[in-house]
Every structure is written in structure tokens, then in C-alpha cells.
Amino acid sequence: MRKILIANRGEIAVRIIRACQEMGIQTVAVHSVADKDSLHTKLADESVCIGPGPSLQSYLHIPALMCAAEVTGADAIHPGYGFLAESSEFAEVCAQYNICFIGPKPEHILALGDKIRARGHAIAAKVPLLPGSPGGVQTQEEALKIAKKIGYPVIIKASGGGGGRGMKIVHSAEALKSQLQIAQTEAQACFGNPECFMEKYLTQPRHIEVQIIADTHGNCYALGERDCSIQRRHQKLVEESPCAALTPAERKLVQEKAVALAKSVNYQSLGTAEFLYEKGEFYFMEMNTRVQVEHPVTEEVMGLDLIKEQIRIAMGEKLNPALASRIANGHSIECRVNAEDPVTFAPWPGLITDYHQPGGPGVRVDSMIYAGYRVPSLYDSMIAKVITHGADRMEALVRMRRALKEMRVEGIRTNIPFHLRLLDHPKFIEGDISTAFLQEETL
């Protein structure tokens, strides 16, 4: 592999370029008109404009991406996360044009990217699920029958949903009658697939996910777990590894389940099996067939570069067998810094007039911002990930507090004050968290 095109933008494009540079691989950045001054365009060896600002006409436009790969002579494409990272169609087009897609095979994306299909594979691999509909739910009668059996509250989810969208929590039969149809209509509009399913809604679970790494030679390992329970509207804001609440036996169990699922479909590349955890039980939710936003906390505690590993897997290399027994060293926390109001969470794009990036022991910042950069309004509001590592959770937490106090992003609003309030919350400090934390607590 000599040249990789990065079909993405923002911090993940920068992250992938950095990995390529360390491996001596040439890089091609692609950018929309709105991103012409983005850091990834400056750091890559070459940069190609692929269309107007709206993602549908640029970052999601397969013909434009294939043209860019063709004219630059790229032999591989890294999709990052979001955009086309979980598009089996894109992976298939790459395969047909003899361009290496750095990710799983199209059939793995098809098998696990769709939530209903993934549930089927989980059942076959004896991975526990929440009680719910066996497959998709089409009619009101069907939905009412299932809800009666499993008990309210229930959650309706779009099979093709993602990013915390396409979910409806329902507390009564009355609400279920109207919500199912709304969910189906929205799922069709947002994800091009009306199929929805139902499961029991847990009120205070933790979100625990397992990092999977699998090569093309049949080796598949779990690289610890991440706790991503601090969420707002089902979107992760803070992630950590390891999860402070698990016993060694529970940790082993959830990792075994994740590996069993991945192996059952002969999965290859990086992937993440997501679970809910409540009262000592794990329930599989979905598998993300790509690198996750929160991969750095795993990198910090495992002493690994996951992007480089992912590229090596795509080149056909074998995983180091020592990874099978690797255990977490210390603790790592990631805070997602968004360009938004720290109280109302309203997006706050604009010109960054001044920027100071924190540093010092155990602090890492994955970002694309610089003084003079204008945060566009068209894309995700995340502008930086601050990641800390410490000998234990308390040291990682103290370092995060120090780093965020030191960080300066002038000209726009960010959620740094929100993170600082969270880091001072006694329950967060104790590690007493669930996905309901931000709804239940005042910061």
C-alpha cells in the first residue's frame, strides 16, 4: 500500500494522515468547498476538492470519491467513521475497482451494520439480547402484543439508525400506537429503510462496548472495553477505559461474547460490539463495523495505534498473538469538545480567533482546529477530543480537569465549561454513572 485516500474530514482525517505518515504511506485528502482551509487538506500530501459543502454532494458522493482516488492513483481508501464508513455499497465499489477499502468486507458490513440482522447473528452466537421483537415490527397489533409481553417502557429503533437518531421511547400502549408509524416514516426519510424493531427500554443502564480487532487469518481478539455512559440524547460525550464498574469475571464475559459474535461471521478489521449493562447483566445492542470516535482511550490503555493496526490488517498482515492477552494499563478518559453553547447545547460555529492546546504528562488532543480556522456550520459540531491517561481513574480525571482548564478556544463557544462541571460532580468522580446521568443530575 503506497497511497491512501481518506474519505473523511475533521479530526479523524487528521488522525489517519498522522498514522500514514508514521508508516511511510502517502496520503490524499478530499474536501468539500466548505472545508478548503481544513487542517487535513494541509497535512496530506495531496488534496482534492470533491464537491459543494453539503455532504450528499461531497463526502457521501461515491463517484466523486472514486474519481479522486483514480486521478491521484490511490491504492486504498480509509473511510474513517460516519459518512460512508458503514456503507457496504462503498466497500463493494472499492472492491470492484481494485481499491483496498480499509475496513471490513462488504458482507460483514451487511451482516452486522443493520441492527435487525446483527440481532439475528447475536442470537445464533448465543450473545444475550434484551427481550424484544424477534425481527422487524410492521403493524400496530404486532407492536402492542410484544410490548404487552415484555412490559413498558419499550424502545422502537430504526434498523438502519445510527448516531443516536431513529429511536423512540414509549411508556404506554396509547403512545405506542402513534409512535410506531412515526418511527417508520422517519426511518424511511433519514436512513432510506423504514424497518423498525422493538426491545425493552432500560432506565439506568451503562453503555459498555468492546473493541474488537480481527485479521484476515482468522485471529480475533478483544482489546478491553469502554464505558460510554455519559450521553446527551443518546450521543456520547465522555468515554473511558476500562469501565470502573466491572468485575474481572464480567469483563472476561463481555469480551468473550463480543469475540464470539465477530467470529461467527468471520469478521475482519476493527469493530465495536456495543452492550447495555444493568444489574450485572449484559445485553447486546449493535456492532459498529468501523473505527469509533472514542478509539483513543483504548489506544492509551493498551499502548497500541489502532489505525495503524487497521491499515496493517487491510494489507493482509497477521495480528501479533500477544494481543490476545494484553490488559489495560492504567485508565484513560476522553471528553468530546463541541462547538456549542455549554448550557443550551446550541451549535456555535464560527471563526476561532485564538487557540491554545493543552499538553503535559498524560494529555493527548486529537483535533483539526487552529487559530484562524472557521468551524463550518454544515457538519458535526465536534472540534476536538481531549484524551488523558493516568495510573488510575483518579489521575486520568485530575489530568482531564487540568487540561480542560488550560485549553483556550476563543471566538466561538464550546462545551468545555460543561465538561468541567461534570468532572466536579461527586457521582461522576465516584464512577456512579448510567446513560440517564445527564437527565437525572444537575450540573
Residues designated as active site: 290
- Choice from 12, 66, 93, 155 touching ligand ADP (CB under 6 A): 155
Q: How far is CA 67 from the centre of its chain?
A: 27
Site string for ligand ADP, 200-239 (x = CB under 6 A): xxx--x-x-----------------------x--x-----
Stretch that binds ligand ADP, among 120-128, 140-148, 155-163, 353-361 (CB under 6 A): 155-163
**Interface with ligand ADP, residue 366, by CB under 6 A:** no
Pick 163 or 303: Cβ nearer ligand ADP: 163
Please report how close the Cβ of residue 150 comes to ligand ADP at its closest, in angstroms: 10
Please report how close the Cβ of residue 143 comes to ligand ADP at its closest, in angstroms: 15
The residue among 190, 203, 80, 51 whose CA lies nearest residue 130 is 203
Q: Identify the three-state secondary structure at position 427.
A: helix
Q: What are phi and psi of 122, to 5 degrees?
A: -65, -45
Q: Identify the three-state secondary structure at position 180.
A: helix
Q: Which residues pair with 214 in a beta bridge?
A: 220, 269
Q: What are phi and psi of 430, to 5 degrees?
A: -70, -15
Q: Identify the three-state secondary structure at position 235.
A: strand
Size of the site for ligand ADP (CB under 6 A): 21
Q: What are phi and psi of 285, to 5 degrees?
A: -110, -55
Stretch that binds ligand ADP, among 180-188, 196-204, 255-263, 380-388 (CB under 6 A): 196-204
Omega before 153 cis (within 30°)? yes
Instruction: Return all residues near 122 (Cβ < 8 A) that are at least 6 apart.
Output: 128, 129, 261, 284
Long-range Cβ pairs for the range 40-49 (8 Å, 24+)? 40/6, 40/9, 40/10, 40/13, 40/14, 40/368, 43/14, 43/17, 43/18, 44/6, 44/13, 44/17, 45/3, 46/72, 48/72
Pick 160 or 358: Cβ nearer ligand ADP: 160
- Choice from 73, 163, 218, 359 touching ligand ADP (CB under 6 A): 163
Please report how close the Cβ of residue 240 comes to ligand ADP at its closest, in angstroms: 14
The CA distance from 214 to 97, in Å, is 24
- Choice from 268, 310, 414, 435 touching ligand ADP (CB under 6 A): 435
Stretch that binds ligand ADP, among 22-30, 43-51, 55-63, 157-165 (CB under 6 A): 157-165
- Choice from 14, 65, 212, 285 touching ligand ADP (CB under 6 A): 285
Pick 106 or 205: Cβ nearer ligand ADP: 205
Please report how close the Cβ of residue 288 comes to ligand ADP at its closest, in angstroms: 8
Stretch that binds ligand ADP, among 160-168, 173-181, 345-353, 399-407 (CB under 6 A): 160-168
Task: Judge whether 135 and 121 are in contact, CB under 8 Å.
Answer: no
Q: DSSP label at 218? A: S
DSSP 301-359: HHT--HHHHHHHHHTTPPPPGGGGG----SEEEEEEEESB-TTT--B--EE--EEE---
Please report how close the Cβ of residue 132 comes to ligand ADP at its closest, in angstroms: 8
Please report how close the Cβ of residue 59 comes to ligand ADP at its closest, in angstroms: 19
Taking the CA atoms of residue 13, residue 14, residue 20 and residue 26 in that order, the dihedral angle to the nearest 10 degrees is 80
- Choice from 164, 316, 359, 361 touching ligand ADP (CB under 6 A): 164
Interface of this chain with ligand ADP, residues 367 to 396, rule: CB under 6 A: none
Stretch that binds ligand ADP, among 134-142, 199-207, 257-265, 347-355 (CB under 6 A): 199-207
- Choice from 286, 294, 300, 366 touching ligand ADP (CB under 6 A): 286
Please report how close the Cβ of residue 84 comes to ligand ADP at its closest, in angstroms: 16
Stretch that binds ligand ADP, among 164-172, 262-270, 311-319, 425-433 (CB under 6 A): 164-172
Please report how close the Cβ of residue 416 comes to ligand ADP at its closest, in angstroms: 23
Please report how close the Cβ of residue 112 comes to ligand ADP at its closest, in angstroms: 12
Give the CA angle between residues 205, 325, 335 to the nearest 5°. Answer: 40
Pick 265 or 285: Cβ nearer ligand ADP: 285
The residue among 257, 126, 158, 206 whose CA lies nearest residue 431 is 206
Site string for ligand ADP, 104-133 (x = CB under 6 A): --------------------------x---
- Choice from 243, 276, 339, 383 touching ligand ADP (CB under 6 A): 276
To 10 degrees, what angle do helices 306-314 and 10-23 make? 70
Instruction: Return all residues near 121 (Cβ < 8 A) that are at least 6 apart.
Output: 111, 112, 261, 264, 265
Q: Which amino acid is at 15?
A: R
> Which residues bind to ligand ADP, rule: CB under 6 A?
130, 155, 161-165, 167, 199-202, 205, 207, 231, 234, 274, 276, 285-286, 435
